Amino acid sequence: MCADCHGAKGEGVADKYDEPLVGNRSVASLTRYITRAMPDGKEGTCVGEDAVNVSAYIFDAFYSPAAQARINPVLENLARLTVAQYQNSVSDLVGRFRPGFDRAPGAERGLKARYTGKKLDVYGPQLPPEKDEEKRKQKERTRFERVDSQIAFKFGAESPDPLLMKPDEFNNRWDGAIIAPETGAYEFIIKTENGARLWVNDPKDPLIDAWVSTGPDVREERKSIFLLGGRSYPFSVEHFKYKEKSSSIEVLWKPPHGREEIIPPSQLLPDGLPVTMVVSTTFPADDRSDGYERGTTISKEWDQATTRAAIEVAAHVGKNLEALAGAKKDAGDRVEKLKDFSRRFVEAAFRRPLDDEQRASFVERHFESSSDPDIAVKRVVLLALKSPRFLYPELGRGENADDYGVAARLALDLWDSIPDERLSKAASEGKLGTADDVRKEVQRMVADPRSKAKLHGFFHHWLELERAENVTKDAKLFPGFDEAMMADLRQSLWKFVDEVVWSEQSDYRQLIQADYLWLNGRLAGFYGKELSGEGFQRVTFDPNQRAGVITHPYLLASLAYNRSTSPIHRGVFLSRNIVGLALKNPSVAVAFEDAKFDPTLTMREKIVELTKNQSCMGCHSVINPLGFSLEHFDAVGRWRTKDNNKPVHAEGEFDAEDGRTVTISGPKDVATYALGSESAHRAFVRQLFHHTVKQPAPAFGVDTLDTLRAQFSANGFNIQKLLGEIAVTSASRAMPSDKAEAAKTASN
């Protein structure tokens, strides 16, 4: 009966159950599941001793991870760079030739401001006229500097300093850098009644040029630019007044998924930074069929995109060649410096030194065949960026099992990029040969903003935040819940996640069970809290009502319909991402049509009616109770005690993978179960591994996830340390076999 749908070896049967029968349930849990829900359509025909024997057989034959490793060994896939890896690699590849590119931002926030204008009362009756016009003008002017936290000024009819500066004519300039928290399109906005310009990542060409004033009214200029997350970009604004009656300037932005706001001080730096090369070429999306982005698909469109991007980078290098190579146009050693730059560029792109043959092929022959050394450099850049050695970092891994291979792995895993000079130096000195050596570098790399950006991407995926991008709610049922509210909730969620993850403890348990939210005034009023002061503040709730990300309103709103809750969406999310229970895809998709139900029913009663079929309950016996545990939260994440004028019923029970029956009555119970469940921990580890390494975890050994889970627990569930151990595990595959085995033994 089992083989009819699942195949003799659990491989699946077309048009019945075509997915392989694999998972993490124990024999006891499988027995309970089979007794209750199998075979599909003939439930109750495999029970008692039959169910026990069937469970034991399929567990040992093909179901368990150990059985799968025996009959279907998982191998690493040959993979190209993903889109994010290409973009970041190019940025760091060009950036390593710009002095100060890898300088870490300081703690101070804001922008350096310089105010210049005419002095008040420059001429007194005793002051003789100056013969030198230029000196006279200098004496007429005054200048002062300071650090401004934001650019949001309404000077009106006054000057920036009414005691020293005349109000009719002055010039203001702000310089520094801006931090992009995530990758995407950023819209910048200037509001002023005077003249203004704004530069982002380009000190020469302004992104917004509103230098010519058009009249007394405040005008608005806006432009967008694509930026990579986790990086800081040079940022400047200039503003001037010339005899207008009033002056003002505000500089705002709308970050990806955010709302329009004055750029906050937390995103501004007073120290300038070099330009970052950001590839503007559009790439086709990466494959995500296995739940994480992988560079395993090749297409004509992808190949053409790499060509266009390589041309774009070559043009950028050619335009900035003097600064990048340190070779002035008229210098006698210009050609030698360009050759040296080309060699170092190719070595950085290939993530290892060139041998004599490679140097001749990739560098020397282009200078020999071209009369123009600048063109030779462009050809070198094009060839390097189109080479499989750049596009396929794992190519020839067996022959390149050495410290340079370890460095390449670490950079891809933690930064989606190439090794920096410090990591390359460690490789050249043979300092990446053991697990402890690697951990020393990993500790530094995890603290880098690029690791933070990559981890940011993981949480975006783990929490399924793409669901929230187009969320709308019924304005009559939920007045005030609009796009700005969702943007505030998103910021609230990220403040919570970042606070937990980048604390010293970096405690996964806090993500799941914290009883507080970060709220500003708007959110506090909407969610029934009083708040004094401005900005986001930590607000504590009843611990039975809030449990970390499980009950964050941003997620609850995204996992709900526009007028009502959705226990199924919430239950599936909790099952897969929080509790760690595998779910099969439904054989038949059944749409929830609210209008077809008795209008007096609660949402819970509707879902029970919708999924009462025995064939549905195989999965919904887990999905429903988990989803019902959040029924105290309405469609926008507010606590409620009634649904459709009936008391909310949030209790339920489900079978865990270890065979236990778990009773839950709210989010706190879900959190408690997840924190004590090895299956939940393993699910978190597995998803972080896939996002980090972009390869299947079993390819690194059948015990990889269990080893990492045990380390995670031993390290107090420290997320930063888990990320580091994943990188160490991955990097060991790039070591020579004897060192890799020693590193694995040390990790175990």
Segment 350-399, tens digit of pLDDT = 999 999 999 999 999 999 999 999 999 999 999 999 999 999 998 876 66
Over 80: is that where the pLDDT of 556 sits? Answer: yes
What's the confidence (pLDDT) of residue 17?
Answer: 83
Positions of E strands within 473-548: 516-519, 537-540
Task: Show the DSSP H helices in 320-364 as ranges.
Answer: 321-325, 334-350, 356-359
What's the confidence (pLDDT) of residue 129?
Answer: 53
Distance CA 362, CA 331 (A): 24
| Strand 208-210 relative to strand 195-200, pairing | antiparallel
Q: How confident is the model at residue 123 (pLDDT cuts 50, 70, 90)?
A: very low
Distance CA 744, CA 728 (A): 9
Distance CA 256, CA 260 (A): 10
Over 80: is that where the pLDDT of 588 sits? Answer: no
Q: Give percent of the chain above pLDDT 90.
A: 72
Q: How confident is the model at residue 748 (pLDDT cuts 50, 70, 90)?
A: low
Asked if 35 contacts 46 with a C-beta cutoff of 8 angstroms, the reply is: yes
SS3 (DSSP) at 233: strand
The stretch 412-416 carries a mean pLDDT of: 97
What's the confidence (pLDDT) of residue 746?
Answer: 60
Over 60: is that where the pLDDT of 124 sits? Answer: no
E strand or H helix at 446: helix 435-446
SS3 (DSSP) at 432: coil
From the CB of residue 514, how many other CB atoms can be counted at a distance below 10 Å?
24
SS3 (DSSP) at 51: helix
Longest dimension (CA), the chain: 113
**pLDDT tens digit sequence for 249-305:** 999 999 998 889 999 999 999 998 999 999 999 999 999 988 889 998 889 999 999
SS3 (DSSP) at 275: coil
**pLDDT tens digit sequence for 3-16:** 988 998 899 898 88
φ, ψ at 315 (rounded to 5°): -65, -40
* Residue 85 to residues 330, 350, 412, 449, Cα–Cα distance (Å): 37, 14, 7, 15
Q: How confident is the model at residue 127 (pLDDT cuts 50, 70, 90)?
A: very low
* Residue 266 to residues 106, 107, 131, 150, 451, Cα–Cα distance (Å): 12, 10, 49, 10, 19
Q: Give percent of the chain above pLDDT 70.
A: 94
Decide which of 70 and 477 is more confident. 477
The 3-state DSSP composition of the chain as helix, strand, coil percent (nearest 5) reads 45, 15, 40
Average pLDDT, the chain: 91
SS3 (DSSP) at 89: helix
* Residue 517 to residues 182, 488, 508, 550, Cα–Cα distance (Å): 22, 12, 16, 12
What's the confidence (pLDDT) of residue 738?
Answer: 59
What's the confidence (pLDDT) of residue 125?
Answer: 44
| Strand 661-664 relative to strand 652-655, pairing | antiparallel
Task: Show the DSSP H helices in 222-333 as ranges.
Answer: 300-319, 321-325
* Residue 467 to residues 457, 491, 570, Cα–Cα distance (Å): 14, 16, 12
Asked if 569 contacts 627 with a C-beta cutoff of 8 angstroms, the reply is: yes
Give me the sign of the Cα torsion angle 338, 339, 344, 345. Answer: positive
From the CB of residue 716, how many other CB atoms can be counted at a distance below 10 Å?
12
* DSSP state for residue 532 in the 8-state scheme: -
Q: How confident is the model at residue 120 (pLDDT cuts 50, 70, 90)?
A: confident
DSSP codes joined into one string, 97-125: TSTTTTPPP-S--SEEEEEEEEETT---T
Over 70: is that where the pLDDT of 130 sits? Answer: no
Task: Show the DSSP H helices in 629-677 as ranges.
Answer: 667-676
Positions of E strands within 520-673: 537-540, 642-643, 646-647, 652-655, 661-664
Closest listed residue to residue 239, CA positions, set 152, 317, 180: 152
* DSSP state for residue 675 in the 8-state scheme: H
What's the confidence (pLDDT) of residue 561?
Answer: 95
Range scoring the smallest mean pLDDT among 21-30, 336-345, 542-551: 21-30
The stretch 109-115 carries a mean pLDDT of: 97
Distance of alpha carbon 296 from its chain centroid, rounded? 20
Distance CA 462, CA 555 (A): 11
> Domain 111-269: which topology?
Jelly Rolls (2.60.120)
**pLDDT tens digit sequence for 497-543:** 999 999 999 999 999 999 999 999 999 999 999 998 878 999 999 99
Q: How confident is the model at residue 612 (pLDDT cuts 50, 70, 90)?
A: confident
Asked if 321 contacts 342 with a C-beta cutoff of 8 angstroms, the reply is: no
What's the confidence (pLDDT) of residue 534?
Answer: 79
Ranges of CATH 2.60.120.1560 domains, the chain: 111-269
Asked if 50 contacts 1 with a C-beta cutoff of 8 angstroms, the reply is: no
